Chains A and B, each alone.
Chain A
């Protein structure tokens, strides 16, 4: 074997050693690198922007109008616990208690882009908490009923009659609210309609699950 061939063999050997050291260093680097919690979800600035905008509230009047017109594009979700839901709830709403908000089944109702989701609770408190969670997980089209069940009750079911020196707009609003309350089953003594309670038609909610595509494989 010539001298140059033997020399080449030695050089190749050192190259291999070099490569082997690089490989082991890379693997060791993986072990030693600091592990940090992966930041999942929405950018904080965007979350703040969403939180302060007034777009995210929907007033009780708008909601009543939507229900009366049988608008099919929204989904009412009650985030109180089950007993309060059973005692009284706005018609055609489904109940997802706040504790169960992040479960698998609820996600199919919340994380979809077919319906607008409107969250409500007794007041704004729980609904706002739910809204914050959903927004952080980047669910779209989530809004909060301003005032919750309390406001619903005081404006739609039991509207206050405006006093005489208020604007015409207030009177129109009052008329609208009174009509809405009759739609929802409140009977007034001075307007006796049919004795049977008119039931609001139950909306069947078919939600299409946003399927996460699973990687297939095999040999």
Chain B
């Protein structure tokens, strides 16, 4: 038993406990600010800011960027950006307490690191496109949407996990 614990650094909280705390956090967020959590919006603000700094006219002409560019105010002046900063700090602290810090690639023993990284990149690209189409990712749309019983949140959540189950067969070599 002892050797098992030593080898396995990944001793995490009980998922029900984590879920309970997360539920309390969502209630607190709604009570304080009237809105839910979110993640992909912060990255979108980052992209808009970078494009706007490098090529302002292109950003203003493009239909999508111009929605988020307001006169005299940087698009980074957004609630989600500050929340994302907090997420980075919080996760760093938790990793530091539990000895989980360190640069490494986590992959199934059946595949190489390189293959894992290629899949991570393409997965990221797909997820980025999808999150913009659906105006939300799992934290923002699905989690906070479910907390107020929003139909869009439920549809997005069911669509993500439904498709995930359907294509899981093709990716099984990567994980198991």
A: which residues have CB within 8 A of B? Answer: 16, 19, 215-219
Contact = CB atoms under 8 A, between A and B. Distances in A.
B38 interface: yes
B33 interface: yes
Nearest to A218: B41
B41 A219 contact: yes
B34 A219 contact: no
Contacts of A219: 38-41, 80, 131, 135-137, 139-141, 144
A185 to B, nearest CB: 50
Nearest to A2: B1
Contact of B79 (A16, A19, A216): A216
B135 A218 contact: yes
A16 B14 CA distance: 12
A218 B34 contact: no
12 contacts: A16-B16, A19-B16, A215-B35, A216-B79, A217-B34, A218-B41, A219-B38, A219-B39, A219-B41, A219-B131, A219-B139, A219-B140
B75 interface: no
A218 B136 contact: yes
Interface in B19-38: 33-36, 38
Given A215-B33, A219-B39, 4 more contacts: A217-B34, A219-B139, A219-B140, A219-B144
A218 B38 contact: yes
Contacts of B41: 218-219
Contact of A216 (B35, B141, B144): B35
Nearest to A19: B16
